[in-house]
Amino acid sequence: MNNSDEHKKKGRFGEFGGCYLPEGLMAPIKELEVGYRRLIEDGNFRNVYENLLEEYVGRPTPLTEVARFSDAIDGPKIFLKREDLLHTGAHKINNAMGQCLLAKMLGKTRVIAETGAGQHGVATATACAYFGIECVVYMGVVDMQRQHPNVQRMRLLGAKVVGVDHGAKTLKDAVNEALRDWSETFETTHYCLGSALGPHPYPEMVANFQSIIGKEAKAQCEQRFGKMPDLVVACVGGGSNAIGIFSSFIADSDVALVGVEAGGTSLSLGHHAARFHELKKGVLHGCYTYLLQNEEGQIAETESISAGLDYPAVGPQHAALFEANRVEYTSVSNEEALAAFKLLSSTEGIIPALESSHALAYVAKIARDLPKEHIVVINLSGRGDKDLPQLFERGL
């Protein structure tokens, strides 16, 4: 995989990435790229951001062994990277604080965001409240129903939540509306995109803000075990939590990396969100990557018990890592994720997000085949409080 400066300059990860946008969005994306490049090299920006991560967000997060969970699945030594313990309850706050600080320093007075599971919306609303910036969050009405507690949190934090009631009424459609808004208001507005996808420079920028997860995890493994883990696992929707923890281990060839997608109710097109199962390439929301398409080339419907994984495309860096055979991508079903959700809750007193439960479920499936001395790190990207209402409706 070509990771040269030239490719990064063009916003490319191998053949993937780029910036494919209508003319009305080229001015805001260029302005953002110039501003991001200037501030990311600014020592003051970095110092303020790092202080926020420590004093407001709650970093570093611990590495927690889950021995009873491992015993229940006859597994190896399993450790969770506890992003669920961050302020707002998920990794999304790492990126939201970075982008909203960027917006503040660029003189923007309004921030818009899209959200699926609601955690990015909550994180953005939180950051905007902290910085004193107006906040508008676009969310599909289907996701608003199944993630209602997060809708209430966003509104309490002062954000305006705009329901999107067309298309599949989920994350893809929320992104469409946010992009339309941005094209009309960019002079005063920053679009805080929540995952490591979309047009350049978003994949690089979001991965940068989330890379703290991997940096901490690697240092914690070196200190605790005196070596690297044997396996690192994370769920993959757009891919921000996964690229965040993978980033520090990509160059360590002895560390196996696995990304787990949403297998939904079946692997028939329209019933899952497993982009690497279909292996079709195309452009969605400004970047070239793997995405779900029907026979006519139209974006396919997706399905997942997890709103945060219910998206038809994957971040371009993940596509490149797949092509380079550096990361294995697989999927688990709704029911497998739900079983892992229940198991971690009952054995460890930790209620995981349904997104993170996909990573837990994958490890549960392969646990008996792993040597007992293996060290497995799972990125627990968020906590599951937000998921309880919909799960109780399902008869949990």
Catalytic residues: 92, 114, 381
Q: What sections of the chain are H helices per DSSP?
A: 5-9, 23-40, 43-52, 67-72, 92-105, 119-131, 141-146, 148-156, 171-185, 202-210, 212-225, 240-246, 275-278, 316-323, 334-348, 354-366, 388-393
Amino acid letter at 127? Answer: A
CA distance 178 to 184: 10
Q: Which of 144, 143, 126 is nearest to 135 (CA)?
A: 126
Whole-angstrom distance, CA of residue 279 vs CA of residue 277? 6
Q: 50-56: list long-range contacts, CB under 8 Å, 24+ apart.
A: 52/97, 52/101, 53/94, 53/97, 53/212, 56/87, 56/97, 56/130
Structure-token match 């002062």, residue found: 158
Which of 129, 106, 121 minimizes the C-alpha distance to 162?
A: 121
Q: What 3-state class would DSSP assign to 202?
A: helix
SS3 content of the chain, % helix, strand, coil (to 5): 50, 20, 35
**CB-side neighbour CA atoms (13 Å) of 107:** 3
Cα angle 361, 195, 302; round to 5: 60
Distances (CA, A) of 370 to 71, 111, 148, 173, 367: 13, 46, 39, 40, 5
375 Rama sector, left if φ>0, alpha if ψ -120 to 50, beta otherwise: beta
Dihedral angle over CA of 173, 175, 179, 181, nearest 10? 70
Joined tokens for residue 107: 């003189």
3-class state of residue 221 by DSSP: helix
